Amino acid sequence: MKKTSGTIFVRKKQILIVGIMALTLFCLCGRLVHNRLVSVSSGTAAVEKEKKYIKWVEFHVTKEALQKAYDYDVDTHNSKHPLHWVELLAYLGARYGGDFSSYKESDMEQAAERLASGKTTIEELTKDMEYYDYYRQAYGAVLDGMVGEYEVEEAGADGVKWVKKYGLKAFHPIAKGFPYTDYDDFGVSRSYGYKRNHLGHDMMGQVGTPVVAVESGYVYLLGWNQYGGWRVGINSFDGKRYYYYAHLRKDFPFAKWLKEGSVVQAGDVIGYMGRTGYSANENVNNIDIYHLHFGLQLIFDESQREGNNQIWVNVYPLVRFLYQNQCETVRDDNTKEWSRVKQIRDPEAEVYRKAQAQDEK
């Protein structure tokens, strides 16, 4: 049958339409495949990124090991080969697999002698230790802000002046002269609200006992929740440590000058011991015993602050170690506030303040 020109034109048009549809379908499929690959790639990248930060730390360093490493650090500070206490502890952590129940003072002495004499370096000493870097990061997250240079206000014949020092610049959370009792209660069961483990350390004492900042930092949180009652949360300046002080006193929980964003120096009075909490209603005493709940959270990634990978460490050995540096306080009878007797200047606080001022410009 002979095809007319009109029939040919219709046939070509049909072929053209089919071709356009096929091309469009091909492009659409390509785009979907591309998007899927990008999605998978992004997901993989997210997983890879997630793997890069530490998700779990068990801090089992004993008070005795903390003290010995600290003494080496201070004693060798001005020597040719100064020792760093966190490096010594990380070396032993890698050697013991984190289990300090097998700690021997001689193990630290041998390492310290070789390092202090210049016979070796920490890099050479740990080069064959697969997990040294992990323990250096983990123990550093706990301890790096506690020892260093600072200035303290001292009275002399020429009046009050600022004196530069090096050593322990972190303080015990309970002010000097106030009695308390405690024991290693990390991980014990709690039942209010829901069954959970105790991720902090309880220090039982008297109502109104001054609570001080362990490390310099800034107030991240200030207020009430039903578990902690009145509580204060303070971030370290490097963002690795979040200090949590809870169950503060009813009616007068915080130092009056304190607010969210406030910069605090280690040893500043931040609040007062109480027994608030375990109530959905604000400012309620619903806990039987007056005590401070003191907790330390490590943050390697901001998602860990409220996420599933929260890291809370046992601070009991730290509290025992810090007992040597309790802050002396004095009461103002007019305001009924307690404050520190000796002021300090932490260089980290000055750096933070300057950065804040720069950001505000």
Residue 336, sorted as left (phi over 0), alpha (psi -120 to 50) or beta, turns out to be left
Q: Among candidates 256, 216, 258, which has minimal Cα distance to 353?
A: 216
The answer to whether residue 33 is domain-embedded is no
The answer to whether residue 2 is domain-embedded is no
The answer to whether residue 99 is domain-embedded is yes
CB count, 10 Å around CB of 327? 25
The rounded distance, in Å, linking the Cα atoms of 21 and 18 is 5
The answer to whether residue 131 is domain-embedded is yes
Same domain, 202 and 271: yes
Same domain, 239 and 177: yes
The answer to whether residue 266 is domain-embedded is yes
Same domain, 138 and 220: no
Length of the chain measured in residues: 361
Per DSSP, the three-state class of 111 is helix
Same domain, 124 and 192: no
Phi, psi torsion values for 209, nearest 5 degrees: -60, 130
Q: Of 77, 111, 144, which residue is a domain's last?
A: 144
Same domain, 83 and 179: no
Q: What is the DSSP string of 213-234?
A: -SS-EEEEEEEEETTTEEEEEE
Which tokens sit at 206?
A: 């008297």
Same domain, 301 and 174: yes
The answer to whether residue 3 is domain-embedded is no
Which tokens sit at 258?
A: 């304190």
The rounded distance, in Å, linking the Cα atoms of 195 and 317 is 26
Residue 125 makes CB contacts below 8 A (sequence gap 6+) with 91, 111, 114, 115
Q: What is the pLDDT of residue 50?
A: 52
Which tokens sit at 171?
A: 């303080």
Helix or strand (DSSP H, E) at 204: strand 201-205
Same domain, 187 and 138: no
Per DSSP, the three-state class of 137 is helix
Residue pLDDT, tens place only, 206-231: 999 999 999 999 999 999 999 999 99
The answer to whether residue 5 is domain-embedded is no
The answer to whether residue 301 is domain-embedded is yes
Determine the structural domain holding residue 253 and report its residue range: 169-360
Q: What is the CATH number of the domain that holds 296?
A: 2.70.70.10
Q: What is each CA distance from 8 to 3, 5, 13, 22, 88, in whole angstroms?
A: 7, 5, 9, 21, 89
The rounded distance, in Å, linking the Cα atoms of 325 and 267 is 9
14-25 in b/e form (b: 16+ CB < 10 A) is eeeeeeeeeeee
Same domain, 204 and 349: yes
User: Does residue 26 contact residue 20 with C-beta atoms inside 8 Å?
Assistant: no
Same domain, 219 and 306: yes
Same domain, 138 and 173: no
Same domain, 338 and 246: yes
Structural domain count, the chain = 2
- Mean pLDDT value across residues 184-189: 86
Share of the chain above pLDDT 70, in %: 84
pTM given for the model: 0.84
Same domain, 74 and 177: no
Q: What is the pLDDT of residue 156?
A: 81
pLDDT over 60 (residue 40): no
Residue pLDDT, tens place only, 294-333: 999 999 999 999 978 899 999 999 999 999 999 999 999 9
Share of the chain above pLDDT 90, in %: 76
- Between strands 180-182 and 329-332, the pairing is unpaired
Residue 34 makes CB contacts below 8 A (sequence gap 6+) with none
Q: What is the pLDDT of residue 195?
A: 66
